Structure 1
């Protein structure tokens, strides 16, 4: 059963995802990022703009197969999620629960405070729960809040 974490109140979805992917890459994780093509294009561009030491090697569906095999981060909008890209982590940027999520050890749902996105996250939370999963919330507002 995968570990499902909802990272709530992300102030900047793409910026937060870049930091998340940088940390995952530093730890040697292989990651699939699922989302809309337009959002993945923006993420791809943001990842290319990271400074030298922060570079995160990544590719998408259009990359040649040898590049996909060598890349630790794979960006995709295809459903169902491809089985041939071996990864332990799924980062979901989409409004829906991606088909095939069960094969991952860890799923991270990145959610901003934008009301429609929060509503979509609630639907995904309920879908995971109804499927027997136990998601948990990781509230980024609580991390950023100053301690008294």
Structure 2
């Protein structure tokens, strides 16, 4: 069963949210786990990609960006389409809702919530969706 983590940031800033996603992606990468970052649209995918390339001056997180790959060549995939069928480890959901047809095949699902009112409202609905279906959920309130 998919384990779900909600990371609740203290800031409403979308850049802070993307920076946190980058830090989390680095930890997942260092643990040698495969990661899919699902975004709402191409422009968000590009922002995530830029963050992964430039998060820290001394390192970068190589990743695949797009939907045309046959086998993922990197441990991190950023997509605004359906997640790659061969990836089942960790999914970070940056979309505006539940990825109903995809999330349950992953071992772990991460929702990153900032204090933006729209994001908070959506996260409450997704939290309720997962809870009603019996998924194990952990919430992590972060203070930055």
Could you state the TM-score of these two structures normalised by the residue count of structure 1? 0.84
Gaps of 5+ in 2: none
- Runs of 4+ with >4 A deviation: none
Q: How many residues align?
A: 138
Residues 97 and 10 of structure 1, relative CA distance in 2, 3 Å threshold: farther
**What is the Cα-based RMSD across aligned positions, in Å?**
1.8
Unpaired stretches in structure 1, ≥5 consecutive residues: none
Residue 131 of structure 1, CA deviation? 1.9
Match of 2:77 in 1: 74
Alignment of 1:1-148 (within 5 A): 1-9=1-9, 11=11, 12-37=16-41, 38-51=43-56, 53-62=58-67, 64-65=69-70, 68-79=71-82, 81-84=83-86, 86-98=87-99, 99-141=101-143, 144=144
Q: What TM-score, normalized by structure 2, do the two folds share?
A: 0.86
Instruction: Report the 3-state secondary structure (helix = DSSP H, G, I; strand = E; otherwise coil) of the residue aligned with 2:20.
Output: helix
Give the helix-richer structure, 1 or 2: 1
Question: 1:134/1:62 Cα in 2 relative to 1: closer, same or farther (>3 Å)?
Answer: closer
Larger CA deviation: 54-63 vs 22-31: 54-63
